Amino acid sequence: MNLSLELMLQLAIVVPLLAVVAILVTGHNSNLREGMTITACLILIFLVVNLYQGLTSGETISVLWWELLPGLTISFNIEPLGMLFALIASFLWLVTTCYAIGYMRSHQEKNQTRFYLCFALAISAVMAIAFSANLFTLFIFYEVLTLSTYPLVTHAGTEKAKQGGRVYLGILLSTSIVFFLLAIVSTWFVAGTLDFKLGGIFSADVDKTLAGILLVLFVFGIGKAAIMPFHRWLPAAMVAPTPVSALLHAVAVVKAGVFTILKVCVFIFGLDLLAVLPTTQFLLYVAAASVLLASLVAMRQDNLKARLAYSTVSQLGYITLGALLATPSGVIGSSMHIATHAFGKITLFFCAGAILVSLHKSKISEMRGIGRQMPLTMLAFFIASLSIIGVPPAGGTWSKWFLLMGTIETEQWLLIMTLMLSSLLNIAYLLPISFHAFFPNFMPSFMPDKKMPTKGSVKTAKLPNKQPAIEIKEAPLPSLIAIIITTLGCLTLFVYPQPLFELATAVLTNRE
Amino acid sequence: MIAHLPGLQVHLPVLQVIVPLMAAPICLFLKRAHLVWLFALITSGLTFVISVLLLQQVLTSGVISYELGGWQAPWGIEYRIDKLNAFVLLIITSISTVVLFAAQTSIEKEIPKSKHTFFYILYLLSLTGMLGIVATGDAFNVFVFLEISSLSAYALIAMGKDRRALWAAYQYLIMGTIGATFILIGIGLMYQMTGTLNMADLSKRLPEVAQTRTVFTAFAFVIVGVCLKLALFPLHLWLPNAYAYAPSIVTTFFAATATKVAIYLLIRFTFTIFGLSFSFTTIPLQTLFMALGLAGIFIASTSAIYQNNIKLLFAYSSIAQIGYMIVGFSISSVTGLTATLLHMFNHALMKSAIFLALGAVMYRLGNVQLSSFHGLGRQMPLTMAAIVIGGLSLIGVPLTVGFVSKWYLLLALLEQGWWPVAVLILLGSVLAVIYVWRLVEVAYFKEPLSDQVPVKEAPMFFIIPIWTLIIANIYFGIDTRLSVEVAQAAAMSLFGVTP
């Protein structure tokens, strides 16, 4: 096909929107509706891959849609970081849709049309965020993303869902209105532009204190990055159906947050300015505290999805930390971590959903011995855990490697210790889950959760193993396929990280 | 039509006011309610066309001065249309026309049939009054039209089917009369000192006598009077009840236009008549208005959160929004005034959409208590979606008009380096999130109450105007050329800056 790259860029945003219409029209027929979603996914991947090739062949692709206010435009362009984000989001949209078909049907969820519809809308916003050419455009779609995911979070329509939605919207909207918008208007006022430019848009003689305050506003204002103390929305969002938690709250929404932080650090402030701002060190410690505290909280969660949510908060802290280090290694590590964490965490969520659908279990304390019933799922869980922890043979190894390099280069000894400690904590709260699933009788006291293992309950937990035959009850086939794909993704990122690494490196060298 | 009649072209300024004024008594002869409605709608549409033509004319060829009856100013009455009042005229006439579209359907349920004709007469008179206040260049004429619009407003509010409407109208009558009297006293004092009532003439003569106690007193009376009319905190007490218990159409019309007219008067008196340097130096107007505006934003928004009558909720929200306009005004910079003018336009769009949608709910359910909204998201999806989008606009979400005015307001505050105020403004938006979302949660998450009869979507006569306004909310949030350019040009000319 001879579509120009500019057209493809716009189509990447428009196609999910067209999918919204198609889903609405075909809503009465579930097969047709989901066929539409899958078609849109495939077209989107085709477009994004073509754009990727365009980018690697060195073409500049930019589009101006509309000048909203004088000097403030809605415009898009392509640079490696956004490309990376778009690739992950579009690919995982396909996988998640596949997963969702199995999950939503066997879970007999209501309002599935609304679900697929809002999902497509959210993906459109994600594409627009990934390709934003300026902070203004990014902000607009950042808000669109918040609003379009609200119906997904509150999908169940229960009192709990309403409460979760309230926290979700409350924190995301307030931080973005009070801090983020203020930071954007101030940046516009000080710098006179909001275009993303490598090396930053502030002039060299900008007031350092002012810029420092702006940085603080940005880091806390981008609530989607879930830096403590504005992280509460993420656990609250876990009331959503699992596919939503998987794609949006492990990949799209939270990554939109850290992506924005990376964009701001690299393209609004520029690494040189970032390194000398008075508040950078403070924010680094905030991010490190977020990493550590969230890991500690994660250990105490018995609900699997809640534990994964806090783990996400912690891992997002890594990315913010890497961006704030203001060194090439930090930025590369952060960019790569966007990808590796995405694959790892989405697998974990998929597994959590699979366990819920097949065995109706959501508490970790109930999951002893389930490895016999769901061997593939729990194996996937194990590999994905390794990726999150950052050990071979999973992709997370590389990103954590670069992040560590970054801290060593800048001689941030305290941060190095934090990262090491946090990795240990990751092991402590993730590995026991799959371990106990396969070896329910081994070292019951190793389970870090102190509330649960009274002797009696451990004994009852052993019981299933003594029963002679346990039938294998894996997740529905589409869901299982999705789990396998993302797990393979985790492994591939370890074996063949070259394209990812090149893309991450190009972030700082691209002339755009 | 009118554009092709060169003879009429020159008379546009007076036609703007005369057309609805003449149309009002004609209604008496038309008897049948539907006919009267159609006639009023056409009249209002005509005023809209006139205001569009006026705006075009002003933008291309500058200020229009029209001498009533051929008597030369300053002796005769002058109608003077510049960018500022052409802009406000456009706001009033456009909203009035769209709102009137739904009027007949709405009042069928809210006003006894025998009073329908009177309703339209009063409506047109009220429209005349507002247009007159804005179009005229004569200070005393302002008072006359103010009384026309206010008296008809009292009667319109009293038509509400809730008996509390009478009490609300009475409250408004007392406060409104005090306000109008204060303005009259102010104008009288100015006349005493200068011997003229023509605004342009006043602005030339007042500086000579600026340092007299009489002029200070005149200024004080005028400002307090106008602030009563525009419901600036703490002079807002008449507004919530008046809006809550008036017939829905009246609420919609007044919420969108009446306070805007009062703000126009404030700008006219301070900038044109008394002059910028006098207004902002004699009394600490800047600090005063900034403080009152912010207090209004926070206190009214907080009150809004606790309301269970949704019309009352949005009435408080209106007071808060007036606070934003006053803050923009108090900055006394071109950008600040642009923000105020923009917000006048934008707020008219969002509030008319919301109140009209509430009118639709009133039509179907007979009340607008929060408990009636249970499950309404499913029963009246289009109406509720309109309220949600209107609410988002009120919050200031990008791609809606609310965002545009907020952007300019923030920019104006940053220009002055008033960071803390900027933060407060944004916190005010968060309060808006809370009171809007309270309604959203009830409408979408609660099951309908068991004793509630299931209702259908509102009739087309509601849906069309509501969604016209909602689309305008989005359209002018994206294509900001018209609103921003006119507001900016008006602000610049008020500051005497040539663009």
Q: Nearest CA to A164 among A175, A176, A150?
A: A150
- Bridge partners of A69, per DSSP, are A72
Q: Are the Cβ atoms of B433 and A69 closer than 8 angstroms? A: no
Kindly tell me if the per-residue pLDDT of A512 is higher than 60.
no
Evaluate whether A308 touches A345 at the Cβ level (below 8 Å).
Answer: yes
pLDDT in tens, B394-442: 998 888 999 999 999 999 999 888 889 999 999 999 999 999 998 988 8
pLDDT above 90 coverage of chain B, percent: 53
pLDDT in tens, B179-190: 999 999 999 999
- H or E stretch covering B80: strand B78-81
Residue B477: closest CA among chain A residues belongs to which residue?
Answer: A68
pLDDT above 90 coverage of chain A, percent: 23
pLDDT attached to residue A466: 47
- On chain A, the residues whose CB falls within 8 A of the CB of B423 are 178, 182
Structure tokens at B499: 């663009």
pLDDT in tens, B218-262: 999 999 999 999 888 888 889 999 999 999 999 999 999 998 999
pLDDT attached to residue A454: 46
| Span A364-386, average pLDDT | 86
- On chain B, the residues whose CB falls within 8 A of the CB of A170 are 433
pLDDT in tens, B169-215: 999 999 999 999 999 999 999 998 888 888 888 888 888 888 888 88
The Cα of A68 is separated from the nearest Cα of chain B by a number of Å equal to 6
Q: Nearest CA to B364 among B389, B381, B388?
A: B381
Provide the residue ranges of all domains of chain B, joining segments of one domain with +.
285-499
Lowest mean pLDDT among A124-138, A250-264, B271-285: B271-285
Structure tokens at B285: 């107007």
Nearest-10 crossing angle of helices B33-61, B12-30: 180
pLDDT attached to residue A247: 80
| Span A332-353, average pLDDT | 90
Kindly tell me if the per-residue pLDDT of A463 is higher than 60.
no
Chain mean pLDDT for chain A: 85
Evaluate whether A91 touches A45 at the Cβ level (below 8 Å).
Answer: yes
pLDDT in tens, A123-162: 999 999 999 999 999 999 999 999 999 988 888 888 888 8
pLDDT in tens, B6-26: 667 788 888 889 899 999 888
- Bridge partners of A195, per DSSP, are A134
Give me the residues of B, 478-497, that contact A with CB < 8 A. 478-480, 484
For tokens 């009274």, name the residue.
A454
Cα–Cα distance, B251 to B258 (Å, whole number): 10
- On chain A, the residues whose CB falls within 8 A of the CB of B480 are 68-69
Kindly tell me if the per-residue pLDDT of A240 is higher than 80.
yes
For tokens 């009249």, name the residue.
B43
* Residue A488 or A30, more confident: A488
Kindly tell me if the per-residue pLDDT of B89 is higher than 90.
yes
**CA angle (A163, A149, B385) in 5-degree steps:** 85
Nearest-10 crossing angle of helices B83-110, B248-267: 160
Which stretches within A252-374 are classed as H helix? 253-263, 271-276, 280-299, 304-324, 328-359
Top residue of A181, A190, A230 to mutate, by most chain B CBs within 10 Å, is: A181
pLDDT attached to residue A460: 46
Cα–Cα distance, A100 to A244 (Å, whole number): 9
Alpha-carbon separation of residue A101 from A241, A350, A352, A422, B490 (angstroms): 12, 12, 16, 35, 56
pLDDT attached to residue A462: 45
What pTM, to 2 d.p., does this model score?
A: 0.89
Kindly tell me if the per-residue pLDDT of A461 is higher than 50.
no
Kindly tell me if the per-residue pLDDT of A258 is higher than 80.
yes
| AA identity, residue B62 | G
Cα–Cα distance, B259 to B266 (Å, whole number): 10
- On chain A, the residues whose CB falls within 8 A of the CB of B484 are 69-70
pLDDT attached to residue B448: 76
pLDDT attached to residue B32: 82
Residue A161: closest CA among chain B residues belongs to which residue?
Answer: B445
| Span A277-305, average pLDDT | 90
Structure tokens at B396: 């200031």
pLDDT in tens, A412-440: 888 889 888 998 999 988 888 888 888 87
The Cα of A69 is separated from the nearest Cα of chain B by a number of Å equal to 6
Top residue of A67, A69, A121, A167 to mutate, by most chain B CBs within 10 Å, is: A69
Q: Are the Cβ atoms of A182 and B441 closer than 8 angstroms? A: no
Q: Nearest CA to A99 among A438, A437, A380, A363?
A: A380
pLDDT attached to residue B133: 93
* Residue A71 or A295, more confident: A295
Chain A residues with CB under 8 Å of a chain B CB are: 66, 68-70, 139-140, 143-144, 147, 154, 157, 159, 161-162, 165-166, 169-170, 173-174, 177-178, 181-182, 185-186, 188-189
Residue B408: closest CA among chain A residues belongs to which residue?
Answer: A185
The Cα of A408 is separated from the nearest Cα of chain B by a number of Å equal to 38
Cα–Cα distance, A169 to A145 (Å, whole number): 11
In angstroms, the first-to-last Cα distance of chain A is: 26
- Bridge partners of B65, per DSSP, are B80
pLDDT attached to residue A363: 86
For tokens 């946090």, name the residue.
A422
Q: How many CB pairs under 8 A join A and B?
A: 64
pLDDT attached to residue A470: 64
pLDDT attached to residue B311: 92
| Cα–chain center distance at A62 | 26
Chain mean pLDDT for chain B: 89
The Cα of A178 is separated from the nearest Cα of chain B by a number of Å equal to 5
Chain A touched by B430 (CB under 8 Å): yes
**CA angle (B35, B39, B44) in 5-degree steps:** 150
| Span A104-131, average pLDDT | 86
- Bridge partners of A67, per DSSP, are A73
pLDDT attached to residue B34: 86
Q: Are the Cβ atoms of B423 and A169 closer than 8 angstroms? A: no
Cα–Cα distance, B318 to A74 (Å, whole number): 31
> pLDDT-derived band of residue B353, with 50, 70 and 90 as boundaries?
very high
Top residue of B324, B333, B394, B399 to mutate, by most chain A CBs within 10 Å, is: B399
Cα–Cα distance, B325 to B342 (Å, whole number): 9
| Cα–chain center distance at A128 | 16
Cα–Cα distance, B247 to B316 (Å, whole number): 17
pLDDT in tens, B261-271: 999 999 999 98
> pLDDT-derived band of residue B498, with 50, 70 and 90 as boundaries?
low
Top residue of A177, A193, A209 to mutate, by most chain B CBs within 10 Å, is: A177
Q: Nearest CA to B243 among B151, B328, B174, B309?
A: B309
pLDDT attached to residue A444: 53
> pLDDT-derived band of residue B375, with 50, 70 and 90 as boundaries?
confident
- On chain B, the residues whose CB falls within 8 A of the CB of A68 are 404, 478, 480
Q: Are the Cβ atoms of B480 and A154 closer than 8 angstroms? A: no
Top residue of B407, B427, B440, B488 to mutate, by most chain A CBs within 10 Å, is: B407
Structure tokens at B446: 């609660």
Residue A73: closest CA among chain B residues belongs to which residue?
Answer: B478
